[in-house]
């Protein structure tokens, strides 16, 4: 070896040694399918079935198929509204508790194929899937485990039926991003004419692991939602309230849909052994299905903004239900509210005041993990400290006196959820004035505080399970106080 190649090898070896290693992941981390789901943040829920025509919330299961007859079904209108509203996908009740199927299932007569709508040749799911494709939206399905129409419900035969339907949905309608298993299970119903109360054991009856494996087999990229995951958990209420402390972690073994876990589901478990983030499902109206009597009770744009803060702003995704009416269209008032909310949102987060500003930290891990990563617009870079440091300050120099009243914080969750306590302060008249205190961060939190005029904002992470990894900080001056 000559001297030049020796020198070259030494330089390469030296630079390899000076490369700073990234932090090791801490605790459970999200799967690829969960990461894709976190990015979605806001999407539409659609409750539509015989109930739309019978004015009910829970159909008994004895509805004549002929009642389902939308006069102007227009799934493109739903998809356009969702797209214009800034949503990323649509999840539809393919089958609600009444057992009526919005697609012509081979396995039951209780479906659109026996309705007079389109002479029994219609398929709502096909139309919606096509509309979602056209508007660049993801598509998801809700398949109610409880079926008040099926005579087999509560026997093992029903499980075979349920799984056959799941296979139909997951095979014939392209890519599905989320499969929604709700937790309402058993009670009175038609059950093929038996008209009785049937109780099942939530823990054992559905044999969930073998149903989940069908989803994994047919749609490996789909996440599954239920009270207890396996991929996404219910937030524990239907009023749109994510929890301020919100771990994406859950000890889900022993938990099952329909169990009494509402309290746990809000916060998750700090020491949870699975990554199971929360989804906030809530309706734009008091009911899940359309009722003319609720036309005056549609949530206002301002109210939708509150929901956004209490869901997306609290490390949860927002699944907002907008139920079509008897025409098969979203009601104009609902659409107007969605679009006006979209405008409010744009104004709320118009200019990121942290963008391009100088950022420093009390310390950092080394090259590649500088504080400037938190405002470089790249979600793949992050500020990190050395492994042994589980606290630190990030200081954003705004350059001049600036009014601020909102902050967005994001952890680099590919390495796990770590932060347990943080605070934000502003440098005003020579001292640090506290603005907010918080616990968890996770994928994203958005917090409000009264307007301050300041040159410098400080984010202090003061408790973290392992060295903090912060990928993004944004600051805004939203209208109002
Ligand atoms: C619940 C159901 O009982 C409601 O009707 C609605 O579909 C809601 C989203 O899930 O479990």
Q: How far apart are CA 401 and CA 79, in angstroms?
A: 43
For residue 48, the CA-to-ligand 1 centroid distance in Å is 12
Alpha carbon distance 451, 457 (integer Å): 13
Domain ranges of the chain: 32-348, 358-476
pLDDT score recorded for residue 346: 98
Instruction: State the DSSP string of 198-241.
Output: E---TTTTT-HHHHHHHHHHH-TT-EEEETT-SSEEE-S-SSS-
Q: Which residues of 234-243 are buried (b: 16+ CB within 10 A; e: fewer)?
A: bbbbeebbbb
Q: How far is the CA of 39 from the centre of ligand 1 (A)?
A: 24
Residue 8 CA from chain centroid, whole number: 51
Q: Calculate how far, in angstroms, residue 430's C-alpha sits from the geometric centre of ligand 1.
A: 53
Residue bearing the CA closest to ligand 1, atom 3:
184
Give 25-70 pLDDT, tens digit per residue: 999 999 999 999 999 999 999 999 999 999 999 999 999 999 999 9
Residue pair 94/143 in contact (Cβ under 8 Å)? The answer is yes
pLDDT at 14 over 60: no
Grade residue 187 by pLDDT with cuts at 50, 70 and 90: very high
- Classify burial at 227, counting beta carbons within 10 Å of its beta carbon; exposed 0-12, middle 13-18, buried 19 or more: buried
- Residues 332-349 have a mean pLDDT of 98
Sign of the Cα torsion 247, 438, 456, 370 reads negative
Host H or E run for residue 129: helix 124-135
Q: How confident is the model at residue 78 (pLDDT cuts 50, 70, 90)?
A: very high
Spatial contact of 123 and 160, defined as CB atoms under 8 Å apart: no
Average pLDDT in the 163-186 region?
95
The pLDDT, as a whole number, for residue 18 is: 62
Asked if the model's pLDDT at residue 80 lies above 90, the reply is yes
CA torsion sign for 380, 426, 407, 266 is positive
In sequence order, what are the residues at sequence separation of 6 or more whose Cβ sits closer than 8 angstroms to the Cβ of residue 348? Answer: 305, 406, 476, 478, 479
Q: What is the pTM of this model?
A: 0.96
DSSP code of residue 21 = P
240 CA distance to ligand 1 middle (Å):
14
Question: If you classify domain 32-348 with CATH, what class do you get?
Answer: alpha beta
In sequence order, the 6+-apart residues with CB closer than 8 A to the CB of 480 are: none
* Residue 26 CB neighbour total at 10 angstroms: 16
What percent of the chain is modeled with pLDDT above 90?
Answer: 93
Query: From the alpha carbon of 45, which atom of ligand 1 is closest?
Result: 9
* Pocket residue to mutate for ligand 1, from 140, 144, 182, 240, most atoms within 8 A of Cβ: 182
Q: How far apart are CA 227 and CA 458, in angstroms?
A: 37
Confidence of residue 17 (pLDDT cuts 50, 70, 90): very low
Please check whether residue 327 is in contact with residue 70, taking contact to mean a CB–CB distance below 8 angstroms.
yes
**Identical fold, 32-348 and 358-476:** no
Whole-number Å distance, alpha carbon 144 to ligand 1 midpoint, is: 9
103: tokens are: 């697609």
| Inter-residue contact 305 to 344 (CB < 8 Å) | yes
Nearest CA owner, ligand 1 atom 6: 288
Whether the link from the prior residue into 230 is cis, omega within 30° of 0, is: yes
Going by DSSP bridges, is the β-strand pair 445-464/392-411 parallel, antiparallel, or unpaired? Answer: antiparallel
**Which atom of ligand 1 lies at the shortest distance from residue 183's CA?**
11
If one residue of 184, 259, 323 were mutated to test the ligand 1 pocket, choosing by the most ligand atoms within 8 A of its CB, it would be 184
CA of 295 to the centre of ligand 1 (A): 20
> Quick one: which atom of ligand 1 is closest to the CA of 142?
7
Helix axes 208-218 and 156-172, enclosed angle (nearest 10): 20
Question: Which of 202, 235, 288, 322 for a ligand 1 pocket mutation test, highest count of atoms within 8 Å of Cβ?
Answer: 288
How far, in Å, CA of 23 to CA of 1, rounded?
37
**Within a 13 Å sphere around the CA of 233, how many CA atoms are in the beta-carbon half?**
33
Centroid of ligand 1 to alpha carbon of 156 (angstroms) = 23
Summarize the confidence of residues 223-251 as an average pLDDT: 97
3 pLDDT more than 80: no
- Atom 4 in ligand 1: residue holding the nearest Cα: 288
Distance 50 CA to ligand 1 centre (A): 15
Q: Tell me which DSSP letter residue 254 carries.
A: T
State residue 261's pLDDT score: 92
**Mean of all residue pLDDT scores within the chain:** 96
Q: What does the pLDDT average to over 286-294?
A: 98
Are residues 163 and 217 in contact, defined by beta-carbon separation less than 8 angstroms? no
Q: Which residue is closest in CA terms to ligand 1's atom 10?
A: 182
Give the model's confidence band at 259: pLDDT under 50 very low, under 70 low, under 90 confident, else very high.
confident
Query: What topology does CATH give the domain 358-476?
Result: Jelly Rolls (2.60.120)
What is the reported pLDDT for 2? 57
Pairing type for strands 469-476 and 392-411 reads: antiparallel
DSSP state of 273: S
Pocket of ligand 1 (CB under 6 A): 57, 182-184, 281, 288
Q: For 61-70, write each residue's pLDDT tens digit.
A: 999 999 999 9
pLDDT at 216 over 50: yes
């Amino acid at each position: 070896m000559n001297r030049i190649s020796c020198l070259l090898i030494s330089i390469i070896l030296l630079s390899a040694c000076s490369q700073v290693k990234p932090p090791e992941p801490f605790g459970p981390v999200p799967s690829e399918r969960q990461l894709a789901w976190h990015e979605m943040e806001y999407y539409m829920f659609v409750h539509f079935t015989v109930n739309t025509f019978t004015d009910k919330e829970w159909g008994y299961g004895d509805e004549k198929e002929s009642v389902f007859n939308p006069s102007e079904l227009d799934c493109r209108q739903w998809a356009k509204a969702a797209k214009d509203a800034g949503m990323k996908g649509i999840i539809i009740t393919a089958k609600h508790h009444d057992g009526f199927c919005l697609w012509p299932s081979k396995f039951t007569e209780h479906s659109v194929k026996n309705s007079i709508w389109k002479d029994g040749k219609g398929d709502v799911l096909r139309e919606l899937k096509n509309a979602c494709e056209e508007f660049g939206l993801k598509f998801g399905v809700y398949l109610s485990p409880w079926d008040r129409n099926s005579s087999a419900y509560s026997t093992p035969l029903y499980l075979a039926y349920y799984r056959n339907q799941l296979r139909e949905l997951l095979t014939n309608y392209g890519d599905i991003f989320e499969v929604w298993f709700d937790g309402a299970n058993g009670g009175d119903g038609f059950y093929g004419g038996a008209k009785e109360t049937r109780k099942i054991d939530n823990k054992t009856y559905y044999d969930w692991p073998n149903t989940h494996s069908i989803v994994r087999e047919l749609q490996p990229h789909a996440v599954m939602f239920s009270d207890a995951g396996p991929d996404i958990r219910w937030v524990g209420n239907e009023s749109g309230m994510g929890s301020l402390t919100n771990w994406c972690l859950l000890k889900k073994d022993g938990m099952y849909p329909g169990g009494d876990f509402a309290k746990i589901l809000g916060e998750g478990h700090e020491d949870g052994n699975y990554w199971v983030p929360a989804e906030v499902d809530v309706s734009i109206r008091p009911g899940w299905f359309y009722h003319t009597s609720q036309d005056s009770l549609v949530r206002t744009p301002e109210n939708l903004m509150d929901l956004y803060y209490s869901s997306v702003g609290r490390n949860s995704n927002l699944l907002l239900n907008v139920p079509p009416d008897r025409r098969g269209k979203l009601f104009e008032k609902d659409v107007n509210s969605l679009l006006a909310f979209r405008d409010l949102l744009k104004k709320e987060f118009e200019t990121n005041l942290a963008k391009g500003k100088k950022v420093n930290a009390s310390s950092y891990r080394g090259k590649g993990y500088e504080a400037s990563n938190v405002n470089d617009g790249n979600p793949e870079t992050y500020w990190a400290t050395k492994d042994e440091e589980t606290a630190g300050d990030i200081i954003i120099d705004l350059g001049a006196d600036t009014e601020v009243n909102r902050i967005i914080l994001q952890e680099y969750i590919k390495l796990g959820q770590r932060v347990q306590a943080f605070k934000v302060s502003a440098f005003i008249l020579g001292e640090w004035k506290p603005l907010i205190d918080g616990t968890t961060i996770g994928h994203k939190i958005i917090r409000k505080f009264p307007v301050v005029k300041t040159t410098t904002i400080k984010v202090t992470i003061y408790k973290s399970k392992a060295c903090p990894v912060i990928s993004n900080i944004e600051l805004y001056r939203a209208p109002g106080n």
